[in-house]
Structure 1
Amino acid sequence: MGTPDARRLAQSLVHVSHLLPPIDPPSVLTSVLHTRLDRHYGWRDQIAARRRDTTLHPCLVSQWPLPDSSHGALEQTFAGHVGRVWSVAFSPDGAWLATAGDDKTVRIWDRNTGACTATPTGHTEVINSVALSPDGAWIATTSHDQTVRVWDTDDLHTSRTSRGALGVLPACDVP
């Protein structure tokens, strides 16, 4: 997995990755990335050397920390939903989590890597809530499609669906 320094550098990239949308023109990506990393210890020397290289000018230089920079306590960013995320639930052991959002999907994430490991489908409208059973064996979701779905975490297929709720069920919870 590399040296401790390499792991810290990789983690700093993870911390800012959610702040790097597609950039136009693409040639400014390095400058934008450096404005996001110039406060991270491991990148300072490399960024300073690039700024001194007169063949690469002009380049962006932040005078102050950017207001949308991630906090040092940020462990992971999970990117993949289209639109808002309405609900998050963590597995009992903390190894994975489930999210529900505007894109009508439930997403299962590996907490350590930030990778989406599964996207069970079935709801036809915004999913506004997700909850996990105490043992992590199933996931419950509610949606604007007026259904409650229960998903088995072994195979992520819907094991039960309740239909016909009167109006939108705003949330679900598992005791």
Structure 2
Amino acid sequence: MNSGVPRTLAVGRVKFFRRHRGEVNSCAFSPNGQMLLTASDDGYLYGWETQSGQQLWRLGGHTGPVKFCRFSPDGRLFASTSHDCTIRLWDVAGAKCLRVLKGHQRSVETVSFSPDSRQLASGGWDKRVMLWEVQSGQMLRLLVGHHDSIQSSDFSPSADCLATGSWDSTVRIWDLRSGPPAAVFHQKLEGHRGNISCVCYSASGLLASGSWDKTIHIWKPQTGSLLVQLEGHVTWVKSIAFSPDELWLASAGYSCMVKVWDCNTGRCIETLKGILDVAHTCAFTPDGKLLVSGASDQA
């Protein structure tokens, strides 16, 4: 855990991005923090200028609700997943779709880029994880082992491992160091008493998981040990995000609030109620100065 002294958390200047026509399922900042990407149940992806709140574009193409979105670490691409069983790769500069990745048999709920932006991981209701080569769109590996829907995924900072969270109440960590098409199931993290809805790595390699059991666990993945359990949500945890300095963890519950936690003590230091309805997602800007949440009030 980070032993630094936590900064003062200032809450204010709440800004709304209001042109969605359906629930906001996911949001992501570009690596430089200048653009915000949001995915909506209305079937569109939205791009926003972070500081001004100006809408840059609205992108169609998916034939169902857009469930998740994420920028590549190099800032050149972003990916979206949908209930239409596809993943779309988009060019940031031209705001155009480069390719459509097909292979999942049911709704695709999560997507994540490797740290070098060369690979993509996806998972969904078909209980399978697929690894793709970004440049060609070719599927490299199929990871099978979860017993229920896969709702979240994240590459470790070293890119050696991929963590996946499932409605089978487990987090699985896959060792990717062996060559394709093999991938070794490395570890299963158990302890949650409900569906796993979100996972994310910190910059130093800690792993957090959020669950329908209303708790968040922070793990040391190398040993599988539980470092701290965060309790305080009154509904299930929908989304989690580490601050870049690892001092804070933000969490969006299935309620009209986002909580911010001290990662060292496990204490909730702030409960944010700026949103108007159910919080579906949360994310820090890369510099850690701003926190955004997406909600079913379409803001």
TM norm structure 1: 0.57
Superposed CA offset, 1:30-87 (max 9, x none)? xxxxxxxxxxxxxxxxxxxxxxxxxxxxxxxxxxxxxxxx996111111000110000
The aligned counterpart of 2:235 is: 167
Out of 204, 212, 229, which is 1:135 matched to?
204
The aligned counterpart of 1:53 is: none
In structure 2, how many angstroms separate the alpha carbons of the residues matched to 1:90 and 1:117? 14
The aligned counterpart of 1:87 is: 152
In structure 1, how many angstroms separate the alpha carbons of the residues matched to 2:175 and 2:159? 9
Report the 3-state secondary structure (helix = DSSP H, G, I; strand = E; otherwise coil) of the residue aligned with 2:218: strand
Structure 2 residue 139 is the aligned partner of structure 1 residue 74: yes
Report the 3-state secondary structure (helix = DSSP H, G, I; strand = E; otherwise coil) of the residue aligned with 1:148: strand
Opposite residue 158 of structure 1, the aligned amino acid is: L
Deviation at 1:166, TM superposition (A): 1.6
Q: Percent identity?
A: 28
The aligned counterpart of 2:226 is: 158
In structure 2, how many angstroms separate the alpha carbons of the residues matched to 1:107 and 1:174? 19
Q: Tell me, which stretches of 5 or more residues in structure 2 are unaligned?
A: 1-103, 106-131, 244-299
Structure with greater proportional helix content: 1
For this pair of structures, how many residues does the alignment match?
Answer: 107
Report the 3-state secondary structure (helix = DSSP H, G, I; strand = E; otherwise coil) of the residue aligned with 2:241: coil
Larger Rg: 1
Structure 2 residue 188 is the aligned partner of structure 1 residue 123: no
In structure 2, how many angstroms separate the alpha carbons of the residues matched to 1:153 and 1:95? 12
In structure 2, how many angstroms separate the alpha carbons of the residues matched to 1:129 and 1:72? 25
Structure 2 residue 174 is the aligned partner of structure 1 residue 104: no
Superposed CA offset, 1:1-33 (max 9, x none)? xxxxxxxxxxxxxxxxx99xxxxxxxxxxxxxx
Moved over 2 A (4+): none
Report the 3-state secondary structure (helix = DSSP H, G, I; strand = E; otherwise coil) of the residue aligned with 1:159: strand
In structure 2, how many angstroms separate the alpha carbons of the residues matched to 1:118 and 1:154? 9
Structure with greater proportional strand content: 2
The aligned counterpart of 1:23 is: none
Q: Tell me, which stretches of 5 or more residues in structure 1 are unaligned?
A: 1-17, 20-69
Deviation at 1:169, TM superposition (A): 1.3
In structure 1, how many angstroms separate the alpha carbons of the residues matched to 2:209 and 2:137? 32
The aligned counterpart of 1:42 is: none
TM norm structure 2: 0.34
